[in-house]
Amino acid sequence: MGDKSEQKKQLIVDAARQVFAEKGFAGVTMKDIIEASQISRGGIYLYFDSTASIFAEILKQEQERPVFAGEILEEAAAVDLLLLFLKEQKKDILRKKENLSVATYEYCFANRLASLDNPVRRRFKEMLDVLTQLIEMGVSEGEFYCEDPAAEAANILYLLEGLRVSAHTIGLTEAKIDSQLLQVVQRLVIE
Amino acid sequence: MGDKSEQKKQLIVDAARQVFAEKGFAGVTMKDIIEASQISRGGIYLYFDSTASIFAEILKQEQERPVFAGEILEEAAAVDLLLLFLKEQKKDILRKKENLSVATYEYCFANRLASLDNPVRRRFKEMLDVLTQLIEMGVSEGEFYCEDPAAEAANILYLLEGLRVSAHTIGLTEAKIDSQLLQVVQRLVIE
Amino acid sequence: MGDKSEQKKQLIVDAARQVFAEKGFAGVTMKDIIEASQISRGGIYLYFDSTASIFAEILKQEQERPVFAGEILEEAAAVDLLLLFLKEQKKDILRKKENLSVATYEYCFANRLASLDNPVRRRFKEMLDVLTQLIEMGVSEGEFYCEDPAAEAANILYLLEGLRVSAHTIGLTEAKIDSQLLQVVQRLVIE
Amino acid sequence: MGDKSEQKKQLIVDAARQVFAEKGFAGVTMKDIIEASQISRGGIYLYFDSTASIFAEILKQEQERPVFAGEILEEAAAVDLLLLFLKEQKKDILRKKENLSVATYEYCFANRLASLDNPVRRRFKEMLDVLTQLIEMGVSEGEFYCEDPAAEAANILYLLEGLRVSAHTIGLTEAKIDSQLLQVVQRLVIE
DNA sequence: TATGAATGAGTCTTCATTCAT
DNA sequence: AATGAATGAAGACTCATTCAT
């Protein structure tokens, strides 16, 4: 039955997400995922044919999540929304052992994608749009000063990406991240 | 003989660098390196015991290279030095197929280092110092406006790191990099 | 219901025949046959327990077909009947991609049968009888010269078998088959 | 060392020949051959990459053997040589459990070869030439009567092939083979 | 009867690593 | 110091067959 089948598929995806979060992408074998899910060696091939296709599914689902985890209040000030966004990002960057960032990087590297419709790119675009709108809103409300909101939004996202990857390569303390995010805010906000 | 031994070791390292640049770190096998260097199956173990230790040696050597590729003239203006630095970084980011960035990321991820004395971290520190001095110089010369040169330097480096990794995950055009670097310069330079 | 059950069984057999004709016997899996017939994974086991038993059923049905595909006229000359028989055999040998010969060979080999009541053997006997009678008829009518009709009939059948298998091992042109069959006819017929 | 390597390769080939003779081609796995040879699971891949390539090597070696197993005396009568040839063939056909015929058939079927340079075809051509010459010799010596030696030679070979394959499909007694071979001889020899 | 999801045994293949020479 | 043949552990994948529904 399609419904039950979907459930099982989701079970595998959820188990696999754990595995990928722990071990990244490159080092994960089908066996790892099989052992993490309640499925047999042969059974997993009924749903996925490789670790890559499982991870692709995870990314797809990831993309469907809203950019902002919390509620966005229409009447909220742009500064507050920005602070909220940055705080969420910081939290995620620091939760480096539990998130999918390393797996996502490794997946991108292994598959040498960077093609137009890859989910990581789409996610970036989506975040870029949201952030650009946020900045434009702040500018029109007189909260922010910014000549090129789109470029500024991209700048913030690339900085966050740099922090995210650096958390894994050189290690980052919360203080260091705060220092960087503070700069971002100071640059924008009219005091 | 120690000297001859060193030569052989360097031969392996040089061959391996090519392989890592092409295929990243995770996908490289001992066999790949053996085939690329002039050494036998068993012979390589006289010098290295894993792909990781070979890559570690490469990183060590990488770290010994000067931060600036070109000559730095004492009397050059800070703006020009900054522009030179950014131009070099851009070039390297765009040469993504030939540099060691993916291999380095994969190596860091696979070894979950981020320890205090890892070479990637040391390299970052080194660049941070150079860049901070550069900015301080620019400030004292009246070329730059900057309240916290060290934070600004880190900001630039994280942004570059973000661009570097994004070149592999979402793909970047030269124009997009230029747009980001322009922002960096405009922010600093007093027109 | 016995009748409906028989129908279903025949459905499987017919679908399987196609598969065996295309792929021989050894390379065919239950999955292949399941996909070719309108039956479920588990359902096929209600009728057959292996590809071998399906093929056995096909052979059984094959055996029930008349030796001569066309109509045999009582009053026809023995020469004409012989020519008709050889022509049919030639046609079948050349249609090597669509007939069951490879599958039959592979089935016999795999099951190392050659037992007394195997269907291939029965089929051979049947053809031997028909052909022997035909030759005897020709002899008594003064059309053929032959001292040992049974041995001659066997000789023709073995030759045809040799041509049939050679069509798959070394490849045969129509001309080569014609040349061989011509010899057979010349040997028998009194000019 | 090339020499020792060749020895090992030959060891594998010899062990594999046994296995193929026993089990045919289709049912033989790498594991079977590994267990029969003195080699490890991974080791066999240093020499061959599939059962097919091992069997191809066997066929190549087979082809290099002389068509006549025994000595051919220049001054021998054509009849005697023919009888010798047929006797050898009969012996081989009856030794059906120990020869490579089933494996060869299965190999040809599985690989759907029948291409111009397949070794089975070359072997056939070779035998055809030898047999044709033998018959021509007999004719010129006044021992044989034959209008078309090449066609007659082919006829004998196809008959033998028919007997060979029939030994596996319908089963053959020595008497039946003798009866067929007798016909061949009677047809040729001028009494 | 009929379904198709699930199982696990079996095979192929690659790879780091060892070891006799 | 150097070689490269050999090893066996580990992972990928397929397939016949079972079983709850």
DSSP B26-95: TT--HHHHHHHTT--TTGGGGT-SSHHHHHHHHHHHHHHS-SSSS---TTS-HHHHHHHHHHHHHHHHH-
Are the Cβ atoms of C26 and D109 closer than 8 angstroms?
Answer: yes
Q: What is the predicted pLDDT for the residue at B82?
A: 95
| Residue D118 burial (CB count, 10 A) | 19
Q: What is the predicted pLDDT for the residue at C5?
A: 85
Looking at the complex, report in whole angstroms how far the Cα of residue C2 sits from the nearest Cα belonging to chain D: 33
More confident residue, B66 or D161: D161
For D184, nearest residue in chain C (alpha carbons): C155
Per mean pLDDT, which range of B38-47, B107-116, C26-35, D3-12 is the poorest? B107-116
CA-CA-CA-CA torsion sign (B169, B170, B172, B177):
negative
Q: What is the predicted pLDDT for the residue at A174?
A: 97
Q: Which residues of B touch A124 (CB under 8 A)?
A: 166, 170
Q: What is the rounded average pLDDT of the residues B62-79?
A: 77
Nearest of C102, C8, C19 to residue C48 by alpha carbon: C8
pLDDT confidence band for A2 (50 / 70 / 90): low
Burial group, residue C12, by CB count within 10 angstroms (0-12, 13-18, 19+): buried
Given the structure tokens 């068993």, which residue do they identify? B42
Determine contact, residues A55/A129, Cβ cutoff 8 Å: no
Determine contact, residues B120/B102, Cβ cutoff 8 Å: no
Q: Which of C55, C122, C169, C178 to mutate to test the interface with D (most CBs of D within 10 A)?
A: C169
Give the nucleotide nearest to C47 (CA→C1'): E1
Residue ranges of alpha helices (H) inside D29-118 are 30-36, 51-64, 78-94, 101-111
pLDDT confidence band for D73 (50 / 70 / 90): low
- Percentage of chain C lying above the pLDDT 90 cut: 81
Subunits with 3+ C-beta pairs closer than 8 A to A: B
B63 pLDDT exceeds 90?
no
- Average pLDDT over chain D reads 92
**What is the pTM (predicted TM-score) of this model?**
0.91
Are the Cβ atoms of D159 and C160 closer than 8 angstroms?
Answer: no
B189 pLDDT exceeds 70?
yes
Are the Cβ atoms of A27 and B180 closer than 8 angstroms?
Answer: no
Residue D186 C-alpha from the chain's centroid:
25
Are the Cβ atoms of C183 and D158 closer than 8 angstroms?
Answer: no
CA-CA-CA-CA torsion sign (C147, C149, C154, C157):
positive
Q: What is the predicted pLDDT for the residue at D54?
A: 97
Residues with Cβ within 8 Å of D113's Cβ and at least 6 positions away in sequence, in order, are C169, D120
**Least CB-CB distance to C121: which of D120, D157, D171?**
D171
Nearest of C131, C119, C114, C98 to residue C19 by alpha carbon: C98
Q: How many Å apart are CA A146 and CA A149, to the nearest integer?
A: 6
Highest mean pLDDT among A13-22, B114-123, D91-100: A13-22
Q: What is the predicted pLDDT for the residue at D191?
A: 74
Q: How many Å apart are CA B154 and CA B186, to the nearest integer?
A: 17
For B158, nearest residue in chain A (alpha carbons): A162
Q: How many Å apart are CA A93 and CA A82, to the nearest integer?
A: 16
Per mean pLDDT, which range of A22-31, B85-94, D66-75, D176-185 is the poorest? D66-75
pLDDT confidence band for C111 (50 / 70 / 90): confident
**Number of separate helices (H) and strands (E) present in chain D:** 8, 0
C30 touches strand F (CB under 7 A): yes
A1 touches strand E (CB under 7 A): yes
B67 pLDDT exceeds 70?
yes
Q: How many Å apart are CA D77 and CA D168, to the nearest integer?
A: 33
A33 pLDDT exceeds 80?
yes
C191 pLDDT exceeds 60?
yes
Per mean pLDDT, which range of A1-5, B128-132, D176-180 is the poorest? A1-5
Q: What is the predicted pLDDT for the residue at A72?
A: 62
Q: How many Å apart are CA A132 and CA A126, to the nearest integer?
A: 10
Strand intervals (E) in chain D: none
Determine contact, residues C170/C103, Cβ cutoff 8 Å: no
Determine contact, residues C93/D162, Cβ cutoff 8 Å: no
A107 pLDDT exceeds 70?
yes
A69 pLDDT exceeds 70?
no
Task: Report in angstroms the alpha-carbon separations of D47 from A12, A183, D41, D52, D58.
Answer: 40, 64, 12, 12, 13
Q: What is the predicted pLDDT for the residue at A178?
A: 98
B1 pLDDT exceeds 80?
no
Nearest of D66, B165, D158, A20 to residue C177 by alpha carbon: D158
C57 pLDDT exceeds 60?
yes
Are the Cβ atoms of C27 and D26 closer than 8 angstroms?
Answer: yes
Q: What is the predicted pLDDT for the residue at A171?
A: 92
Q: How many residues does chain B have?
A: 191
Determine contact, residues D93/C141, Cβ cutoff 8 Å: no
Residue C133 C-alpha from the chain's centroid:
19
C52 touches strand F (CB under 7 A): no
Determine contact, residues B142/B79, Cβ cutoff 8 Å: no
Q: What is the CA radius of gyration of chain A?
A: 19
Which residue is nearest nucleotide E12, judged by alpha carbon to C1' distance? D30
Would you list which residues of chain B are within 8 Å, Cβ to Cβ, of chain A?
24, 26-27, 102, 104-106, 108-110, 112, 114-116, 118, 120-121, 124, 148, 151-152, 154-155, 157-171, 176, 179-180, 183, 187
Q: What is the predicted pLDDT for the residue at A71?
A: 61
Strand intervals (E) in chain A: none
Burial group, residue B131, by CB count within 10 angstroms (0-12, 13-18, 19+): buried
pLDDT confidence band for A140 (50 / 70 / 90): very high
Q: How many Å apart are CA A99 and CA A62, to the nearest integer?
A: 11
Q: What is the rounded average pLDDT of the residues B162-181?
A: 96
Q: Which residues of D touch C120 (CB under 8 A)?
A: 169-170
Are the Cβ atoms of C169 and D27 closer than 8 angstroms?
Answer: no
C1' of E1 to CA of C26 (Å): 30
- Average pLDDT over chain B reads 92
Angle at A53 between CA A47 and CA A55, to 5 degrees: 110
Q: Which amino acid is at C73?
A: L
Q: Mark the nucleotides of strand E covered by protein, meaning any atom under 7 Å from a CB.
A: 1-20
Task: Report in angstroms the alpha-carbon separations of C7 from B146, C14, C16, C65, D52.
Answer: 88, 10, 14, 19, 40
Grouping H, G, I as helix, E, B as strand and the rest as coil, residue A92 is helix
Determine contact, residues D12/D39, Cβ cutoff 8 Å: yes
**Least CB-CB distance to D159: which of C27, C114, C162?**
C162
Are the Cβ atoms of C158 and D159 closer than 8 angstroms?
Answer: yes
For B154, nearest residue in chain A (alpha carbons): A180
Q: Mark the nucleotides of strand F covered by protein, meaning any atom under 7 Å from a CB.
A: 1-20
Are the Cβ atoms of B158 and A180 closer than 8 angstroms?
Answer: yes
Q: Which amino acid is at C143?
A: E
Q: What is the CA radius of gyration of chain C?
A: 19
More confident residue, A98 or C160: C160
